[in-house]
Structure 1
Amino acid sequence: MARSVYVTGIGRGDGRQVVELGVMELLSRRSGRVGVFRPLAHDGPDPIYDLLRSRYRLSQPAGTVFGLGYDEAAAVLADKGTDELVSLLVDRFHAVARDYEAVLVLGTDFADTGLPAELALNARLANEFGAAVLPVVAGRDHEPEALTAEVRNAHHAYASLGCDVIAMIANRVADDRAADVARVLGEQLPVPVYALPEEPALAAPTVSQIVEALGAEVLQSDPDGLARDVRGFVFGGATLPTFLPALTEGCMVITPGDRADLVVGSLAAHAAGSPAIAGVLLTTDRRPGEETMALAARLSPGTPVLAVSGGSFPTAAELMTVEGRLTTATPRKAEVALGLFEAHVDTTRLAERLSVVRSDRVTPMMFEHELIERSRSDRRHIVLPEGTEERVLRAAEVLLRRGVCDLTLLGEEAAIRKRAAELGLDLGLLESDELPEGPGASARVVNPETSPLRERFAELYAKLRAHKGVTYELAYDLVTDVSYFGTLMVQEGLADGMVSGAAHSTAATLRPAFEIIRTRPDAEIVSSVFFMCLAEKVLVYGDCAVNPDPDAEQLADIAVQSAATAARFGVEPRIAMLSYSTGTSGSGADVDKVRRATELVRERRPDLLVEGPIQYDAAVEPSVAATKLPESKVAGRATVLVFPDLNTGNNTYKAVQRSAGAVAVGPVLQGLRKPVNDLSRGALVPDIVTTVAITAIQAQQNRRTPDAPPSGPRTPGGRTEKAVNA
């Protein structure tokens, strides 16, 4: 039987979608198969279910998610009574629970349901489902005393009806009161109590949601503009000199359509970067002339300009009722919600109270969640050299919201702030050079050209590369390169790791690391692995990104390093040294190289399980292994697959990624004394987030077991210098 959690409330306006998303994240970390069940549903789309289905790649048939519609439920209740209604819903719930390891139940929303005693119905359904109950209480506009009383009453209501209440959550609490509310209630109730503060970024509607609510016409915008949060409204009626100082960050300008001066002035202010507005909404069914719109497009082409037919006053009244919603179209809000949940809920304790046993299978999502969880446990500081790159900025917001690590973005501060504002991102960039100690992740901007570190780094680099004829003057110019500057930050302990490559080649990312950080004393070369997340397991592929044609000694080194990397990330290493031949069936220089490398691995690390030469199918498929190598402890069960050369490895990982739908995480570099990782130039935002999390975990481990610096100048093996872009 699946372990289920029933998220419910006591009335409207509790914003429990944040909690539902947070619980789904928690369940999906521990289980490869999580189902969703909503006993009673309104007609039409279900935004939170659609978001869960999209974000967590749910394969559950949509027809099994919903029990009954509210109208149908009301008819059953009237004709046959509560017992019959509950019986129907219990049958439909168990049809889901049979197929899943855990089930998230979405309780009724207390919104025009037409059902009497709705709280009691939720309680009974939870009991009949055998589900733990997680009630959510709205804290908005409540004084602390009134809110604590309401939470106590809600706990009593569900507990007195026989529910297994595992925790209580007060949501949308005033930020300055949340901690006190949680503390007081924690002393008064027998279950954990968590208070989530009001988050303006969740309450703020996006421009797209305003377009939908008002039926507005979009005169100008792009997808990024429509995704911006609207954090306030400024109504334009004054002259331009009086109007401009009233503009605020993220505001939407509301003005009659014939005020071309305010339209152009607002967009010009946005283009200048102070402040970055969300957009312009024109009222009274008027439109600017072609010349004005052409100028608007040149000033700020992506900034939304909308138009409605109504006047400013009725439009304002409608706008005041529009709130932000979690939907598939607002992935940023989902990250904000998860960051809020994880920052204020003890997810480890909640998971223990749920008693959801961690699955033996490891799905791609479970692996990615584990990386985020581990990186958050001991927050490190990562430098991102590509500070103005859009994907990097979007990833930075996710990393900060989820508390994965502290960040330094390299680049011109004004350019980074302007680009972040244009994208509607809230990075909370610090003014000072120092990252503060505290519970939340922080970010700062450093400009290599103006940083006081430039001279120090130039002296260091000139000293490190003096044997190559590098002078201080040459170094002074070179260290303004963001890849060199970021690498020097890592070398000097001013950052714990670096991730780059979204806009730079692999060579541009790795060359500074080879020159400055250099290889570990126990590693012959720098190499790489990909974590290949298949449907129900994770394999480690090495080396698919760095060394074109390693010899036997280097191949053995790659195998040993890959096994160590696999173990660090929870994959039990069983090494397959791949070739086109299995066992003693083939011969030739290529097979002999793999055979010799296998012998070297056994000599260096007799504790490791290794097999080679072996073909891919014999390495991973038990039925083939039973025929070709029946006595092998690795064949058919290999987890670390070492390819004989870059050509084979790079093509294989991409073929598996595309044809098998595997998630390829990497390349993850190994062999460097401090962590630096490369991105594919086609990396998506989730890829960047995952790579940064991996780098942070490497930094955690590096901090626990620091390497002694090598004596004298040392460079990796000659082939390593010829990095290949993955």
Structure 2
Amino acid sequence: MSHAFLLVSTGAGAGLTTVSLGMVRALDRLGIRAGFCKPVAQLHDSDHGPERSTQLFEHMTNIKAPQPISLRRATSLLGSGREGLLMEEVIALFQQCARHTDVVIVEGLVADAHAGYATRLNTAIARALDAEVILVGKPEPDLEEYIDIAANAFSGANGTALIATILNKVGAPSDGQPTLQADVLQTSSGNSDGLDISDAMCQKMTGKPFHVVGCIPWQSQLIAPRMCDIAAYLDAKILHAGYLQQRRVQRMELCARTLANTLSVYQPHTLLVFPGDREDVFVAACMAAMNGVRLAGILLTGGLRPSFGVMNLCEQAIQTGIPVLLVESSSFQTAAKLSHMPAEVAVDDFDLIDQAVDHVANHLDANWLKARCATERKPRLSPAAFRYQLIQKACQASRRIVLPEGEEPRTIMAAYQCQQRHIAQCVLLGDPEKIHQIASSQGIKLNEEIIIIDPVTVRQRYIEPMVALRQHKGLTSEIAEDQLQSRVVLGTMMLALDEVDGLVSGALHTTANTVRPAFQLIGTSESAKLVSSIFFMCLPDQVVVYGDCAINPDPNAEELADIAIQSADSAKRFGLEPRVAMLSYSTGESGAGLDVEKVRQATQMVRQRRPDLLVDGPLQYDAAAIISVGKSKAPASQVAGKANVFVFPDLNTGNTTYKAVQRSAHVVSVGPMLQGLRKPVNDLSRGASVEDIVYTIALTAIQGGEGQVSG
């Protein structure tokens, strides 16, 4: 039976579900296969669908989890003296979760006013599963006494015991403080009194015989409700939806003063509450929206709405996405009700839940968890582990990356996040005033660590070096000056002159526009015969490499061998032990024809040039990826069924396959990462998200940190 950790809480509000899922993610980052089990459902007052912990785990991992036992059945069995039968059902659920995992995180019941039997059930579950117990609590005066009581409750002759504690919500405001307060900005990490109490509690915990796995700081942004949550809570009428699902409320402003005295309240993430006949405030809010301020929304009270003329005047501002709601209650009544809005995150707010789970995982003692799990298997590279390692390696590389599309909003936000997380020093090319204005409209401020260069002020000094690089092609000063109007070309020249360590572009430009200047001004490395690309495909259970899916239309056998070697080396560079499958429409000797022969020859070339690599081909995709098929079609192969580097025979096959897998299976793909250039240049999809850009910058920083990028 898999190793089991049972997480139980000191009471309501400790954040047991978030911490449990955060531990799953922390273990996943370590390459440990972690499952999740919620033995007995415990629905929240606002829940009307499936049990939320299980639902969130399935969303987070794409792994189907067994549905927990209903609370009604559990209490019925307990009440009739059939606890043994209940535990048998618990073990059956656990076994379903443990089939393909090394560790299972079991979420216990919360001992609140509605579940006085929770401690009894949690103790029985711990003993039935022979689980190690970790107590989750928040800083409160009687936490120390509760831990002592819990230690006795979970100890016994069978060896089950409380082994560790996790202190959550360190520095949180007092329970009596409203989540949304009028006229108080909700972006601080906590208050000084809460931090003092938490620090004292952390010191007390270190003196206990239980390991403190983590002290997780409070962040109010992680409970910021969406405007759709506000609308649902107030049962408000939606006059204009806008970005109802995306806008978050971190601050509430009750606009009862004159317009002149409310100018300071028009800030990002602010919910404005005022009567619908205050048309002056409504127009001011719309003007702020037109100036790029991302207000959370407008909440009109008293059942009143602005006149048709005012609404028509403000139509363009409203179309920027600002949600507009209407309630019948007065402004004071509405604000009072909002101040009592529950702090729990909506069950369908996956973005915020993902952030909270990552926040927990970042503050857990990973080394202790790994040692406690005591797994002997070699860690796999899960998507979470890959992304985590990517960021860590980029931070260590500490490189400077130029972003030619410096005025593009996603790029600006990505640069800001990279600076906040110390991933790389970003250089934005563009008009400094415009860049700062766009940053401000997104609620961020760029500091001096993000370099902003106006192309107009520096373009002339790159003309002569560019002519020197391309004079053998007949490049003149006039042509060079004209080509340098492109910020991608300008950024590539900065890279060619070693002023930066890498370049990322493509959010606004085609692949050709990004790659062509690199071919002309950077060139291929000495060890590479061509430039190719790979995607890191984050499948639900592991990360694999696809190459080449973006550059070479129809490589010959020698070029295909070069692509395979480049892809294997790139995979190893990013934490994979490469097992290379040379793909074709047939496996082994079963097929014939020019296309198959090309793959067969390329496989032999790879073996001759790099005998250290595990490579096999031709292999069909299923024979390369599925163990059972691989054993059937290529039983003697060391790669079949275990491949993690897939080399496609041509661009048509590679690009089609990568897009089909990405879209149909909802797989995150990181890339394309170009390989074979002397210096790193990487392309983006024009539909790239901010997160995509951040990870591509991290990839580029790692490449740039290795000096010359070899093939």
Provide TM-score, normalisation by structure 1.
0.80
SS of 1:523's equivalent?
Answer: coil
The CA distance in 2 between the partners of 1:181 and 1:413, in whole Å, is: 46
The CA distance in 2 between the partners of 1:405 and 1:151, in whole Å, is: 41
Q: Do the aligned partners of 2:228 and 2:245 also contact (CA within 8 Å) in 1?
A: yes
Distance 1:332 1:97, change over 3 A: closer
- Per the alignment, residue 713 of structure 1 pairs with none
The CA distance in 2 between the partners of 1:646 and 1:708, in whole Å, is: 23
The CA distance in 2 between the partners of 1:204 and 1:370, in whole Å, is: 29
SS of 1:136's equivalent?
Answer: strand
Letter in 1 for 2:446: L
The CA distance in 2 between the partners of 1:421 and 1:123, in whole Å, is: 52
The CA distance in 2 between the partners of 1:309 and 1:36, in whole Å, is: 44
The CA distance in 1 between the partners of 2:629 and 2:595, in whole Å, is: 22
Match of 1:449 among 452, 455, 461: 455
- Per the alignment, residue 283 of structure 1 pairs with 301
Letter in 1 for 2:116: L
The CA distance in 2 between the partners of 1:383 and 1:150, in whole Å, is: 53
Deviation, 1:67, is 2.7
Match of 2:233 among 195, 213, 231: 213
Deviation, 1:255, is 0.8
The CA distance in 2 between the partners of 1:353 and 1:624, in whole Å, is: 36
Letter in 2 for 1:214: L
Q: Do the aligned partners of 2:213 and 2:368 also contact (CA within 8 Å) in 1?
A: no
Alignment gaps of 5+ in structure 2: 156-160, 173-188
Q: Does 1:707 align with 2:708?
A: yes
Deviation, 1:320, is 0.9
Query: Where do residues 257-656 of structure 1 align in structure 2 (5 Å cutoff)?
Result: 257-273=276-292, 275-301=293-319, 302-327=321-346, 329-355=348-374, 371=390, 382-386=401-405, 407=426, 410-412=429-431, 428-432=444-448, 434=449, 444=450, 446-449=452-455, 454=459, 460-470=465-475, 478-479=483-484, 481-488=486-493, 490-491=495-496, 496-532=501-537, 539-579=544-584, 590=595, 593-612=598-617, 633-634=638-639, 638-655=643-660
The CA distance in 2 between the partners of 1:579 and 1:221, in whole Å, is: 50
Letter in 2 for 1:446: I
Deviation, 1:594, is 4.4
- Per the alignment, residue 106 of structure 2 pairs with 105
Letter in 2 for 1:103: V
Letter in 2 for 1:107: G
Letter in 2 for 1:524: K
- Per the alignment, residue 35 of structure 1 pairs with 36
Distance 1:585 1:156, change over 3 A: closer
Q: Do the aligned partners of 1:236 and 1:254 also contact (CA within 8 Å) in 2?
A: yes
- Per the alignment, residue 129 of structure 1 pairs with 129
Q: Do the aligned partners of 1:6 and 1:132 also contact (CA within 8 Å) in 2?
A: yes
Q: Do the aligned partners of 2:427 and 2:453 also contact (CA within 8 Å) in 1?
A: no
Q: Do the aligned partners of 1:520 and 1:671 also contact (CA within 8 Å) in 2?
A: yes
Distance 1:106 1:338, change over 3 A: same
The CA distance in 2 between the partners of 1:401 and 1:133, in whole Å, is: 35
Match of 1:67 among 66, 69, 78: 69
Deviation, 1:617, is 6.2
Letter in 2 for 1:269: A
Q: Does 1:44 align with 2:52?
A: no
Letter in 1 for 2:69: G
- Per the alignment, residue 12 of structure 1 pairs with 12
Deviation, 1:228, is 1.6
Q: Do the aligned partners of 2:225 and 2:345 also contact (CA within 8 Å) in 1?
A: no
Deviation, 1:57, is 1.4
Provide TM-score, normalisation by structure 2.
0.81
Deviation, 1:586, is 7.0
- Per the alignment, residue 3 of structure 1 pairs with 3
The CA distance in 2 between the partners of 1:491 and 1:415, in whole Å, is: 27
- Per the alignment, residue 155 of structure 1 pairs with 147
Q: Do the aligned partners of 1:48 and 1:327 also contact (CA within 8 Å) in 2?
A: no
Query: Where do residues 213-252 of structure 1 align in structure 2 (5 Å cutoff)?
Result: 213-223=233-243, 225-252=244-271
Distance 1:354 1:575, change over 3 A: closer
Deviation, 1:262, is 0.5
The CA distance in 2 between the partners of 1:85 and 1:612, in whole Å, is: 53
Deviation, 1:664, is 4.7
Distance 1:133 1:262, change over 3 A: same
Percent of aligned positions that are identical: 38
1:169-228 superposed Cα distances (whole Å, 9 cap, x missing partner): 2424155648955863464234135322221212322212111111111112323x4422
Deviation, 1:317, is 0.6
For the aligned residue pairs, the C-alpha RMSD in angstroms reads 4.0
1:263-285 superposed Cα distances (whole Å, 9 cap, x missing partner): 01112023213x54211111111
SS of 2:239's equivalent?
Answer: strand
Deviation, 1:478, is 4.6
Distance 1:381 1:168, change over 3 A: farther
Deviation, 1:576, is 4.2
1:33-66 superposed Cα distances (whole Å, 9 cap, x missing partner): 62331524126344444333222213124xx3x2
- Per the alignment, residue 173 of structure 1 pairs with 171
Q: Do the aligned partners of 2:532 and 2:674 also contact (CA within 8 Å) in 1?
A: yes
Q: Do the aligned partners of 1:666 and 1:679 also contact (CA within 8 Å) in 2?
A: yes
Q: Do the aligned partners of 1:202 and 1:333 also contact (CA within 8 Å) in 2?
A: yes
The CA distance in 2 between the partners of 1:417 and 1:59, in whole Å, is: 45
Match of 2:162 among 164, 185, 188: 164
Distance 1:281 1:508, change over 3 A: same
Deviation, 1:596, is 4.6
Q: Do the aligned partners of 1:411 and 1:445 also contact (CA within 8 Å) in 2?
A: no
Deviation, 1:531, is 3.8
SS of 1:125's equivalent?
Answer: helix
- Per the alignment, residue 682 of structure 2 pairs with 677
Q: Do the aligned partners of 1:533 and 1:663 also contact (CA within 8 Å) in 2?
A: yes
Letter in 2 for 1:166: A
Distance 1:228 1:393, change over 3 A: farther
Q: Do the aligned partners of 1:34 and 1:103 also contact (CA within 8 Å) in 2?
A: yes
Q: Do the aligned partners of 1:170 and 1:196 also contact (CA within 8 Å) in 2?
A: yes
The CA distance in 2 between the partners of 1:293 and 1:55, in whole Å, is: 41
Bigger mean CA offset, 98-107 vs 208-217: 98-107
Distance 1:209 1:459, change over 3 A: farther
- Per the alignment, residue 143 of structure 1 pairs with none
1:366-421 superposed Cα distances (whole Å, 9 cap, x missing partner): 65565456556766555544456566567678767877656555555565566566
Deviation, 1:27, is 3.4
Deviation, 1:309, is 0.4
Deviation, 1:577, is 4.0
The CA distance in 2 between the partners of 1:38 and 1:381, in whole Å, is: 49
